[in-house]
Amino acid sequence: MTRPDQHLKFALNNQQRRTLRALVVEDSTLQRRILSSFLKKWGFDVHEAASGLQALEICTEFPPDIIVSDWMMPGMSGLEFCQKFRKMQRDTYGYFILLTSKSDKGEVALGLESGADDFVTKPVNQAELRARIFAGERILKMERQLHQQNTVIRETLGELTELHEAMDRDLRQARDIQQSLLPAREIALNGTRISTGMRSCGHVGGDLVGLFQANDTQVGLYNIDVSGHGITSALMTARISGYLSERFLDQNVALGLSDLGQRFIRQPAEVATLLNERLLVEAGVDQYFTMNFASLDLSTGCVRIVQAGHPSPVLIKASGEIELLGHGGFPIGLLPDVGFEQFEIMLSKGDRLLFCSDGLTEAKLQSGQELGDDGVVELVRNNIAFTGKEFLDALYIGLRAELPEKGSLDDDISAIMVEYQSP
């Protein structure tokens, strides 16, 4: 017993066949009408042509899906018609069946090379023709499905391209906004020069450098690296820059106010604690960050530093001696009640203090190894003759020379450097 769904499937298939257009090309009126009656019975919209030339005109006006053409015809043969048909511009494929009494394999090969898809031997057997017609229909159905899928893919690709272009515009704008948060590349304060540099591995980055003045002698400076990459990290850097703002000092958590109304920089360990508490209470924030934060007294050269999971600060003495400072510490925003420790150094005239992110220390070299602390020291030593922002640029250029050929950065690189000169 036939199931209802089989009836539905048969009806749909029969409906689909009726939508297909067939063209019968045969110079014999009787044979042409017999073939046309078969195709009409099988559900096709049938057109007839008595010659290859008339068939080409019909193909131009009513492009057929299936063609059944005699090979031997006066004037233009079925083979010539097939060759011309294949040169016509079409949106979809047309299935071509040649009717022939030829059985020579060379003749069959010639027909296939000319563009024919199948052959039916004359005199035509109705069952064989029906089987070959429906085989061609299955091929056309698959071709149309592929065509529809390709159309969907092209349309989807176009939409994705538009979305990508929109995202790219947004990211470029976000990069401009992020760049606006950075200080000038070089700033001179009472003779001391502070230089900054940042290279993002994408449109926007998760690194941040900055500085602010509490008064004429006290300067706060920091180098921060937010976990992860991309937009989320960049949004976090924007938020953190507000906590340490140089433009809105009343909102800067690193600044306190004395009883006399004078601003001062809090102890670096206290600043780290305040940032840690603030980050942990903010809902929806999963990022943490590492940081080197320092308060610098321009009048004495005293620097108090807290290292919170960030690479070791580099002290470059005027004598050329290079020293790594600090003992690591714990990142900010991971756990509550973390104890942060600070340490203190005294800068002499001509000394330099460098903070850099782990995009430098963890860069993968041609050897497959990371640059590491020793590599940073060597990189500094090789470029020690440079000063200011040129020194930071030279570090970056020196690192790129050690990367694999055509290698790109896997992480953002940022740095801030103090070149101390006593007042």
Number of H helices, E strands in the chain: 11, 18
Whether residues 136 and 208 share a domain: the answer is: no
Cβ–Cβ < 8 Å for 65, 100: no
Distance of CA 208 to the CA centre of its chain: 23
Residue 154 lies in a domain: no
User: Within 13 A of 378's CA, how many CA atoms are on the CB side?
Assistant: 9
- What value does the mean pLDDT take over residues 14-38? 83
Residue 18 lies in a domain: yes
Cβ–Cβ < 8 Å for 174, 183: no
Whether residues 326 and 410 share a domain: the answer is: yes
- What value does the mean pLDDT take over residues 235-244? 85
Hey, how many other C-beta atoms are within 10 angstroms of the C-beta on 129?
Answer: 18
What's the pLDDT score for residue 162? 84
> Quick check: pTM over 0.75?
no
Does 412 have pLDDT greater than 90? no
Domain boundary among 126, 149, 172: 149
Of 182 and 111, the one with more pLDDT: 111
Whether residues 119 and 233 share a domain: the answer is: no
Whether residues 201 and 331 share a domain: the answer is: yes
Whether residues 322 and 220 share a domain: the answer is: yes
- What value does the mean pLDDT take over residues 41-66? 93
Residue 162 lies in a domain: no
- Which residues touch 275 (CB under 8 Å, ≥6 apart)? 240, 243, 253, 291, 332, 333
Residue 165 lies in a domain: no
Residue 277 lies in a domain: yes
Q: Which domain holds residue 296?
A: 181-419
Cβ–Cβ < 8 Å for 78, 69: yes
Whether residues 53 and 102 share a domain: the answer is: yes
What's the pLDDT score for residue 8? 39
Does 16 have pLDDT greater than 50? no
**What is the residue-wise DSSP string for 366-379?**
TTSSB-HHHHHHHH
Does 144 have pLDDT greater than 90? no
The total of structural domains in the chain comes to 2
The two structure tokens encoding residue 368: 């497959």
In the 8-state DSSP scheme, what is residue 309? Answer: B
For 93-135, the pLDDT digits (tens) are 999 999 988 667 777 788 888 899 999 988 899 999 999 999 9
Whether residues 106 and 247 share a domain: the answer is: no
Whether residues 88 and 186 share a domain: the answer is: no
* Cα–Cα distance for residue pair 223/231, rounded to 1 Å: 19
Does 4 have pLDDT greater than 60? no
Does 392 have pLDDT greater than 90? yes
Cβ–Cβ < 8 Å for 366, 404: yes
Whether residues 234 and 323 share a domain: the answer is: yes
CATH (domain of 281): 3.60.40.10
Does 6 have pLDDT greater than 80? no
Residue 161 lies in a domain: no
H helical segments located in 87-212:
105-113, 126-180
What's the pLDDT score for residue 368? 85
What's the pLDDT score for residue 103? 66
Residue 173 lies in a domain: no
What's the pLDDT score for residue 187? 92
Whether residues 323 and 195 share a domain: the answer is: yes
CATH (domain of 127): 3.40.50.2300
Whether residues 125 and 17 share a domain: the answer is: yes
Cβ–Cβ < 8 Å for 192, 418: yes
Residue 113 lies in a domain: yes
What's the pLDDT score for residue 237? 82
Does 3 have pLDDT greater than 70? no
Whether residues 221 and 98 share a domain: the answer is: no
